[in-house]
Structure 1
Amino acid sequence: MERLQKVIAASGITSRRKAEVMISEGRVTVNGETITEQGYKVKRGDIIEVDGEQIQKENKVYFVMNKPKKSVCTLDDEFDRKTVVSLVKCDERIFTVGRLDYDTSGVLILTNDGEFANQLIHPKYHIPKTYEVIIDGILTTEQIKALEKGVVLDDGIQTLPAKLRVKNKDFDHQKTRFDITIKEGRNRQIKRMMEVYGHTVTSLHRKSLGFLTVSDMSQGEYRILKPHEVKMLRRLALEGEQKTK
């Protein structure tokens, strides 16, 4: 048996939070009976209607994309910028798992499976993410050690330990290119980590998410995740959760 709001959200018609509002407003029936109780549990075969329309179970779909620069991860954009969802030919209502900034490219997962998405982005699941970064400025040895240990961001939160590998220091143009692996997904985290030392990120590309890479895909290209890849990502998230306990 599953909670009613979870089943409604899984159908793809709305989010779980909005489903709870619909239930409290008396807009949901189960087997013809109006349900207003939050947490009400339904069983397989129950007929659920929202505003008089029976919900249908939505097929779960999973995609991985090499997100192109100059695109946004929101479903709609007030400035009419290109959205990554619009690039995917899919009948289901999908959304991005987490977000990459407008000017950031790289590995991005899209799905309509809210539970799966939560496993990948929730703070308690530590899935490693590797970024290729170019900054204005030269990273010092002391700064590298501090970044790997964890730095305090502008909101007072200290980042978890990271791994950083410098690929090139261009002293003539005062630029540093490096790979950094983190296990968090805080808003603009890489850029904010660099801002701690007054460095500006000029290029940011997510090379990998766990074992997933897009090195063989051009920007904007996407493919369906294989079933074993979905299972491996779930397992990776579970392993990350257990390591934090």
Structure 2
Amino acid sequence: MEERLQKYMAQCGVASRRKCEEIILEGKVKVNGVVVKELGTKIDPEKDTVEFNDKIIKIEEKKVYIMLNKPEGYITSAKDEKGRKTVLDIVNIDERIYPIGRLDYDSSGLLLLTNDGSIYNNIIHPRVAIKKKYIAECRGKFTESDLKKFKSGIDIGGYVTAEAEIDVISEEKSFNSRKNSNEIISTVEISIHEGKNRQIRKMCASLNHEVISLKRVSIGNIKLGYLKKGQWRNLTSEELNYIKSL
């Protein structure tokens, strides 16, 4: 039975279907020894040979679904051209996996990884609008006006964010050595369903609240819980069923 090349590549664990489309357009894929650059290409997995970077790829027999508590200082990617550490340096397993979505280099928290391209869009696709919850430590006190702006949408440079949720958890005084004075550090819980690059940091910055630390604690019903930084585990059957039901 024939299927689209990018779908087959995703099932083989190369990358998400969208990323596989980019790889095809870059001329990195061969079908039966011939470079293919057309996204409409269909293949028969039982008859055709597919190569990525001159290596034959096949569907992974074992599907892997992993939750990682990503530490700061790691790139959410399979490789980094600058030689920085990636999340795959932490989750070192035999299967070729890739992250679902991303977390900034300076951020920590819940990240999902898999070799099952079929579930990628269940979390990433805009139609799903799955809620992602973060805990942020920010400089300054959030006023009622700040909270209203945050909830109704903020211009973060050519893009106005959708409605978001924000709740102040605590406010504490802290000594700022750069300014040689005390300041308020606010801890806030933020929920968004978009995934623009550095979105929360930009939203807070637009209100003059620099983000000191940012941690993602849940994606929909999947919660980070007590998993420590740098640790990972397989998703439970309940968590996996939830993702597949989206």
Q: Identify the residue that residue 176 of structure 2 maps to in structure 1.
A: none
> Secondary structure in 1 aligned to 2:201?
helix
Task: Go from structure 1 to structure 2 and tell me whether the alpha carbon gap of 1:55 and 1:205 turns closer, same or farther (over 3 Å shift).
Answer: closer
Are 2:136 and 2:213, in contact at CA under 8 Å, matched by a contact in 1?
yes
Looking at structure 1, the residues matched to 36 and 211 of structure 2 have their Cα atoms a distance apart, in angstroms, of 51
Q: Identify the residue that residue 162 of structure 1 maps to in structure 2.
A: 164
Of 56-65 and 79-88, the range deviating more from structure 2: 79-88
Looking at structure 1, the residues matched to 105 and 152 of structure 2 have their Cα atoms a distance apart, in angstroms, of 28
How many pairs does the alignment contain?
231
In structure 2, give the amino acid aligned to 1:232.
Y
1:32-63 Cα offsets, whole Å, 9 max, x none, are 99988652434563343438875421132110
Task: Go from structure 1 to structure 2 and tell me whether the alpha carbon gap of 1:209 and 1:36 turns closer, same or farther (over 3 Å shift).
Answer: closer
Task: Go from structure 1 to structure 2 and tell me whether the alpha carbon gap of 1:85 and 1:53 turns closer, same or farther (over 3 Å shift).
Answer: closer
What is the CA distance between 1:235 and its match in structure 2?
2.3
1:6 aligns with 2:7: yes
Task: Go from structure 1 to structure 2 and tell me whether the alpha carbon gap of 1:96 and 1:55 turns closer, same or farther (over 3 Å shift).
Answer: closer
Looking at structure 2, the residues matched to 160 and 234 of structure 1 have their Cα atoms a distance apart, in angstroms, of 25
1:98 aligns with 2:101: yes
Of 195-204 and 50-59, the range deviating more from structure 2: 50-59
Are 1:104 and 1:205, in contact at CA under 8 Å, matched by a contact in 2?
yes
Looking at structure 2, the residues matched to 78 and 37 of structure 1 have their Cα atoms a distance apart, in angstroms, of 26
Alignment TM-score, normalising by the size of structure 2: 0.82
1:188 aligns with 2:202: no
Looking at structure 2, the residues matched to 44 and 150 of structure 1 have their Cα atoms a distance apart, in angstroms, of 46
Q: Identify the residue that residue 240 of structure 1 maps to in structure 2.
A: none
In structure 1, give the amino acid aligned to 2:210.
T
In structure 2, give the amino acid aligned to 1:153.
I
Q: Identify the residue that residue 46 of structure 1 maps to in structure 2.
A: 47
What is the CA distance between 1:226 and its match in structure 2?
2.6
What is the CA distance between 1:74 and its match in structure 2?
2.3
Looking at structure 1, the residues matched to 82 and 35 of structure 2 have their Cα atoms a distance apart, in angstroms, of 41
In structure 2, give the amino acid aligned to 1:138.
K
What is the CA distance between 1:130 and its match in structure 2?
0.7
**Unmatched 5+ residue regions in structure 1?**
237-245
Selected match of 2:111 from 108, 111, 118? 108
In structure 2, give the amino acid aligned to 1:45.
E
Looking at structure 2, the residues matched to 166 and 75 of structure 1 have their Cα atoms a distance apart, in angstroms, of 35
Alignment TM-score, normalising by the size of structure 1: 0.82
Looking at structure 1, the residues matched to 213 and 37 of structure 2 have their Cα atoms a distance apart, in angstroms, of 50
Selected match of 1:204 from 207, 214, 228? 214
Looking at structure 2, the residues matched to 148 and 99 of structure 1 have their Cα atoms a distance apart, in angstroms, of 23
Looking at structure 1, the residues matched to 78 and 25 of structure 2 have their Cα atoms a distance apart, in angstroms, of 21
CA RMSD across the alignment: 2.7
1:8-35 Cα offsets, whole Å, 9 max, x none, are 3432357333235559x8x312xx9998
Selected match of 2:152 from 149, 154, 162? 149
Selected match of 2:141 from 130, 134, 138? 138
Task: Go from structure 1 to structure 2 and tell me whether the alpha carbon gap of 1:143 and 1:53 turns closer, same or farther (over 3 Å shift).
Answer: closer
Are 1:8 and 1:19, in contact at CA under 8 Å, matched by a contact in 2?
no
Are 2:171 and 2:187, in contact at CA under 8 Å, matched by a contact in 1?
yes
Q: Identify the residue that residue 242 of structure 1 maps to in structure 2.
A: none
Looking at structure 1, the residues matched to 14 and 39 of structure 2 have their Cα atoms a distance apart, in angstroms, of 18
Task: Go from structure 1 to structure 2 and tell me whether the alpha carbon gap of 1:6 and 1:45 turns closer, same or farther (over 3 Å shift).
Answer: same
The ranges of structure 1 where at least 4 consecutive aligned residues each deviate by more than 4 angstroms after the TM superposition are 20-23, 32-38, 51-54
Identity %: 35
> Secondary structure in 1 aligned to 2:216?
strand
Are 2:24 and 2:38, in contact at CA under 8 Å, matched by a contact in 1?
no
Task: Go from structure 1 to structure 2 and tell me whether the alpha carbon gap of 1:67 and 1:168 turns closer, same or farther (over 3 Å shift).
Answer: same
In structure 2, give the amino acid aligned to 1:121.
I
> Secondary structure in 2 aligned to 1:173?
strand
What is the CA distance between 1:93 and its match in structure 2?
1.6
Task: Go from structure 1 to structure 2 and tell me whether the alpha carbon gap of 1:191 and 1:5 turns closer, same or farther (over 3 Å shift).
Answer: closer
